[in-house]
Amino acid sequence: MITPTKGIAPDRCLLAVGAQALLQLDEPRTVSQTWARLKAWRREHHHYSPVSFGWFVLSLDVLYGIGAVELHDDLLVVRNADAASLEC
């Protein structure tokens, strides 16, 4: 699921989707905006394998789990890796 498996294509695995979602978060954005941008990005880069909103939220969960993003005032914010390690 997180990494590619037999049933999950490399461009659909949560890490890949999460990485793509991070690409959209060059600034704090709303969930919907991030989701819209991600879909556009995937179309542009010819990733046609289906990614549902639920799957997108799962990838965000993964990112949150590893401390890569946080939700601040309803906006998704990328967390600096150094800042994340400092916080722990």
Nearer to other proteins, 23 or 81 (CB): 81
Stretch that binds other proteins, among 19-27, 30-38, 40-48 (CB under 8 A): 30-38
Distance in angstroms (rounded) separating the CA atoms of residues 17 and 42? 9
According to CB under 8 A, which one of 23, 57, 80, 83 is a site residue for other proteins?
Answer: 57
Nearer to other proteins, 14 or 47 (CB): 14
According to CB under 8 A, which one of 28, 31, 37, 77 is a site residue for other proteins?
Answer: 31
Find the shortest distance in angstroms from Cβ 66 to other proteins: 5
- For 29, the 3-state DSSP assignment is strand
